[in-house]
């Protein structure tokens, strides 16, 4: 049971980075970004190839840059070409499937077994300690660092401009702020976080697969929704913390459900999609119930 909890917490902390990326696009920019599945797999692809060459830490930086570029492409398709946000994300995600195969030299999966990873490197600092402890400590450090950087960034002038763009784009343009630029930076930042999560998952599992990113958008959204249900929204910093907590809780719920055979492994994505659908429909459900109650009173 301890092993199960450690594993769920570690994966939850990794996916917390992806949830932060989703939070930036869906909550701060207030624009749906469907690039997630592709940029997550891109992070895995870049990370596995770089780490296989003996550079596990450089692999994570490479994944961040690759993810940022993917997000930038989505942003440019929306702002400069005028493509619908949903279609722009789909186009980038589709193109990334071929890009990921190109990065992985035409192979759908690659292994890192026997290769140095950031986890094996960090574990050597804790000789004689069960490997779960250093792995968990490493992920707490990474998530805390990224969360702190994002919290500070969104209090800068550029960060505030990105937040303002999501709140009221017309007002931002009227204030002579380049809304197209802030959108592109926001998408680049979001997908950089998502690709970093992919790079870490790759080194955590010691393998990468081009199909692993499928469904990651829904997982990220489920984490955001669960986190916001636990910690009510109260600013960007609180929001970042809430989605990180939501990602860990989501993985714990899934792990426990599998442990007690509450649902089969192939039912996970259905459950994730249901959670997101119900949460998104909740405002409409509340409105319908309120109207029905009001009619009864009248």
Q: 117-159, pLDDT tens digit by residue?
A: 999 999 888 887 888 899 999 999 999 999 999 999 999 999 9
8 Å CB contact between 188 and 68: yes
291: in domain: no
Residues sharing a CB contact under 8 Å with residue 199, sequence separation 6 or more, in sequence order? 43, 44, 46, 47, 59, 60, 62, 63, 64
- What global pTM score does this model have? 0.90
Q: Say what the pLDDT of residue 274 is.
A: 79
CATH of the domain at 120: 1.10.3470
Report the chain's mean pLDDT, rounded to a whole number: 89
What does the pLDDT average to over 92-110? 92
Q: Say what the pLDDT of residue 285 is.
A: 80
Q: Is the pLDDT of residue 298 over 70?
A: no
203 token code pair: 């080194």
The SS3 of residue 33 is coil
Q: Is the pLDDT of residue 293 over 80?
A: no
285: in domain: no
Q: Say what the pLDDT of residue 202 is.
A: 93
From residue 289, alpha-carbon distances to 276, 283, 298 in Å are 20, 10, 14
Q: Say what the pLDDT of residue 297 is.
A: 63
Q: Say what the pLDDT of residue 225 is.
A: 86
8 Å CB contact between 195 and 50: no
Domain count, the chain: 1
189: in domain: yes
What percent of the chain has a predicted confidence (pLDDT) above 70?
A: 97
Q: Say what the pLDDT of residue 256 is.
A: 81
Residue 166 parent element (H or E)? helix 157-167
8 Å CB contact between 202 and 82: no
52: in domain: yes
Q: Is the pLDDT of residue 261 over 80?
A: no
Q: Say what the pLDDT of residue 266 is.
A: 74
Q: Say what the pLDDT of residue 141 is.
A: 95
Q: Is the pLDDT of residue 276 over 80?
A: no
Q: Say what the pLDDT of residue 232 is.
A: 73
Q: Determine the structural domain holding residue 98 and report its residue range.
A: 2-262
């Amino acid at each position: 049971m301890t092993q199960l909890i450690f594993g769920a917490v570690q994966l939850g902390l990794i996916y917390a980075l992806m949830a932060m990326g989703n939070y930036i696009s869906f909550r701060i920019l207030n624009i749906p970004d469907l690039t997630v599945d592709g940029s997550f797999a891109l992070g895995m692809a870049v990370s596995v190839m770089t780490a296989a060459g003996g550079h596990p830490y450089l692999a994570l930086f490479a994944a961040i840059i690759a993810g940022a570029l993917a997000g930038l492409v989505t942003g440019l398709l929306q702002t400069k070409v005028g493509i619908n946000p949903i279609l722009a994300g789909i186009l980038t995600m589709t193109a990334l499937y071929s890009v990921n195969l190109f990065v992985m030299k035409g192979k759908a999966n690659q292994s890192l077994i026997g290769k140095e990873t950031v986890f094996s490197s960090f574990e050597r600092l804790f000789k004689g300690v069960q490997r779960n402890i250093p792995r968990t400590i490493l992920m707490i450090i990474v998530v805390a660092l990224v969360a702190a950087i994002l919290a500070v960034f969104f209090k800068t002038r550029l960060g505030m401009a990105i937040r303002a763009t999501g709140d009221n784009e017309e007002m931002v343009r009227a204030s002579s702020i380049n809304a197209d630029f802030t959108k592109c930076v926001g998408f680049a930042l979001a997908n950089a976080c998502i690709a970093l999560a992919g790079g870490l998952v790759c080194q955590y599992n010691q393998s990468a697969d081009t199909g692993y990113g499928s469904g990651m958008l829904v997982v990220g959204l489920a984490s955001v929704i669960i986190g916001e249900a636990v910690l009510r929204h109260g600013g960007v910093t609180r929001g970042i913390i809430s989605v990180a907590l939501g990602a860990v809780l989501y993985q714990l719920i899934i792990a426990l459900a599998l442990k007690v055979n509450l649902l089969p492994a192939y039912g996970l994505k259905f459950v994730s999609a249901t959670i997101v659908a119900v949460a998104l429909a909740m405002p409409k459900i509340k409105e319908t119930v309120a109207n029905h109650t009001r009619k009864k009173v009248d």
